[in-house]
Amino acid sequence: MQQWPIDAKYPLTLLHVNHHLQADAELWATHCQRLARHYKIDCHILDVYLDNTKSNIESQARQARYSALFSAMSENGVLLVAQHADDQVETLFLQLKRGAGLTGLSGMASWQSGFKQFGAHPSINVFRPLLEVTQAQINDYAAVHLSPSDWVDDPSNTNTQFDRNFLRSHVIPLLSSRWTHWTQKVVQSMSVLNDEHTLLNEVTEERLFACIDAQQLVIDKLATYSNRWQRQIVRHFALKVGHVVLTQAQLQQLCQIIHAKADAKGRLSVVNNTHALVHFERFQGHIYILEDAQIQAASLAMSELQSNDQQELSSSGTGEVFSFKAVAQSYKIKPLGASYSKPIKQWFQHWGIAPWERSFTLIKTRNNIDVSLWCNGRTFELTKDD
């Protein structure tokens, strides 16, 4: 804060998230407000409350914290966070525990644009300027340039029931006592991994582009690459289109769907980075990604049409009555311009309507005569057999 230019393009604002998890939480908020007044910058206290404080507190708190921070930011803003070298090393260990690949092992990036999590606006950036600075260096700086009243120690940091605190208290100090510059060397290695990850992503992006058609993965095009490249492309497809970081098990399941017989069906349902349920669906040689919200919207639209059953067209004054009815896909119809009637299912196959859309099907009638077929927002005019 002392080095922030007064005429900076982005005014500096202090955001403090009060999780209401500690007895002194209100005192910490007051402390931040006092510091802000001292340094003459704006300060906003963001109150969050966890639904369940008995399980997975770390994950819940992180979700609530970042959601609150991003909601308080303006477009094109930059969020500066104080994660440092020791945090980076702890992240590496946690990712190793989870069996992560290169994406996880390369750690946190110093600069992130297009942050897609926690409801962040696409123009918001995240900046971590201290990733190469150790906790010890920060403590040394604070001892020289700050007074003890300038910071607060969070007692939860000593609770080794949390994985990160266990690493911080027991594992990393032991390694650092053996190898003096161990933390810095690990951070250097993670920086190299990050560079290699960036280069790999650039090539993967090019190959994914060659396999994409209207946000759908084309299986025949994917098949032109080796199995290893296919897995990499599929992983990147899930992240870019569905905002999903696939686990190894999920990646294997999705690849099984992709490599099944041509007429096979399959669905993989996962929760993405924005905590939305998404479905990977295979149809006619393509892999689609659709959010569960799309399915719910289609179901709601269908329910609204059915609730308006037996509407009388008052504007026409003809007394004609329109209604919607649900029918089985074996129900025969004759679309306008067709030569003959056949079951709805066969028309759906002819029109290339995906299986997950077919559940949202209604027949619109006028005075008990079929006039159109409605399927997930699309309408097909019908005619009677001669």
CA distance 187 to 145: 26
Q: Which of 3, 76, 74 is nearest to 44 (CA)?
A: 74
pLDDT at 309: 57
Q: Identify the pLDDT of residue 7.
A: 65
Q: Which is it for the CA torsion 229, 231, 235, 237, positive or negative? A: positive
Retrieve residue 222's tokens. 């994917």
The phi and psi torsions of 310 (rounded to 5 degrees) equal: 65, 45
pLDDT of residue 53: 65
pLDDT at 8: 65
Contact 218, 211 (CB under 8 A): yes
For the sheet with 311-312, list strands across it: 311-312, 321-325, 361-366, 369-375, 378-381
Any alpha helices (H) in the chain, and if so which ranges? 25-39, 57-71, 85-97, 102-105, 135-145, 163-166, 172-178, 182-211, 219-222, 227-242, 248-258, 292-307, 344-351
CA distances in angstroms from 161 to 54, 152, 277, 365, listed in the order given: 13, 21, 30, 64
- Taking only the tens of pLDDT, the chain with its 386 residues reads 555 666 666 678 999 999 998 888 999 999 999 989 988 889 999 999 988 766 778 888 888 999 999 999 988 889 999 999 999 999 999 999 888 888 888 898 888 887 667 878 888 889 999 999 999 899 999 989 888 888 888 888 888 888 889 999 999 999 999 998 999 999 999 999 989 999 999 999 999 999 999 899 999 999 999 999 999 999 999 998 998 888 889 999 999 999 988 777 778 999 987 778 999 999 888 999 988 888 888 888 888 877 765 454 444 555 667 788 888 989 998 898 888 899 999 998 888 888 888 888 888 888 888 889 888 888 999 888 75
pTM above 0.75, yes or no: no
| Distance of alpha carbon 244 from alpha carbon 356, whole angstroms | 20
Q: Are 306 and 324 in contact (CB under 8 A)?
A: yes
Residue 127: strand pairing partners:
80, 111
- The boundaries of every CATH 1.20.59.20 domain in the chain are 187-290
- DSSP notation for 207-250: HHHHHEETTEEEHHHHTTS-HHHHHHHHHHHHHHHH-----HHH
Give the pLDDT score at 306. 77
Place of tokens 């906003």: 44
pLDDT of res. 303: 84
Locate CATH 3.40.50.620 in the chain: 13-179
Q: Which one of 3.40.50.620, 3.60.40.10, 2.60.120.860, 3.40.50.2300 gives the CATH number of domain 13-179? A: 3.40.50.620
The DSSP-derived string for 298-324 is HHHHHHHHHHT-SEE-TTTTS--EEEE
Q: Looking at residue 30, what is its pLDDT? A: 94
Bridge-based pairing of strands 332-333 and 342-343 is antiparallel
CATH of domain 187-290: 1.20.59.20
What single string gives the DSSP state of each residue in 27-65? HHHHHHHHHHHHHT-EEEEEE---S-TTS-HHHHHHHHH
**Angle, CA 207 vertex, CA 205 and CA 213 arms, to 5°:** 90
